[in-house]
Amino acid sequence: MKLRSKILLALIFVGVTPLVISLWVIGGMVSDGLETQTQARTQQVADFIQKTITRTSAENLTLVQLMASNPLMVNAVYSADFSGDDDQLTSMFTDMDALPFDQIQVLGKEGKQLFRVFKTGSKEIPATSGVEHPVIEASLEGEAYAENGLFDGVLAITAAAPVSMYGEPIGHLVGVSYLDKRLAAGLKSLGHVEVGFFDDSGIYVSTTPDLASSTCPPFSNHKTTRRTSVVSNTGFSTIRSPG
């Protein structure tokens, strides 16, 4: 190779090498920036969805408290517990479309189930949650309470409040809203992300098959043994009535 060609190649190498290195560094910076933005966006959406579910829990609890204090409800619960006649309760819940609950239960003073009804189109499931459930347990202790977790073996937002007559509890009202595909689809449309509800045993429902087959991150620092989350490890929420 002629000396001129060698000098030319050396000059090209000296000129191109810094450019290649610069492009490599810039490419890495852009990649890191995009990953950071993606992670931040994912966390923002996860926080938004968690806040939405927490707000729904609070709203459900408030509604259950209002319904439990309704004089018609008080009379219906008293009649069902005293005589076994649940006609008044049946009449009150003939049309559940205006309520956010998929299932409603009315319990006696000690937690015995007096009445159970499902919203039209909602999944009717066997009753497996009893007085040991933390929401029902809280109501039996005189406290209105809501929690996101398993109820009757299904992930749900569950709220309960005592039904009282003359200041004494005579029963309990329980409202259950399933964390199902319908809710996941609604949250997906708001957050523009795929949504899945899961606990320690895995995904229950999701808006995409990819989430259904994914492995969810472990939970920590929670007080209950069953937890729910959306998209990322955002945990669950519990709501207690103030006062």
- pLDDT of 84 strictly over 70: yes
How confident is the prediction for the chain on average, in pLDDT?
76
Ranked by mean pLDDT, the top range of 77-81, 193-197, 229-233 is 77-81
Q: Say which residue, 231 or 18, is predicted with more confidence.
A: 18
Confidence class for position 52, pLDDT limits 50, 70, 90: confident
CA distances for 45 relative to 89, 141, 155, angstroms: 40, 36, 21
- Which is more confident, 26 or 175? 175
Segment 159-202, tens digit of pLDDT: 999 999 999 999 999 999 988 777 777 777 776 777 777 666 66
**Alpha carbon distances (Å) from 27 to 13, 35, 87, 200, 221:** 21, 12, 71, 39, 39
pLDDT > 50? residue 227: no
CB-based contact 240:65 (threshold 8 Å): no
Q: How confident is the model at residue 21 (pLDDT cuts 50, 70, 90)?
A: low
Q: Report the alpha-carbon distance of residue 126 to residue 85 in Å, rounded.
A: 22
Kindly report the number of other CB atoms within 10 A of residue 113's CB atom. 14
pLDDT of 209 > 50? The answer is yes
Question: Which tens digits make up the pLDDT trace of 92-148?
Answer: 998 888 899 999 999 999 999 999 999 888 878 899 999 999 999 999 999 999 998
What pTM did the predictor assign?
Answer: 0.71
Counting every residue written for the chain, the total comes to 243
The band of 240, judged by pLDDT with boundaries at 50, 70 and 90, is very low
Domains and CATH numbers, the chain: 57-178 (3.30.450.20), 181-236 (no CATH)
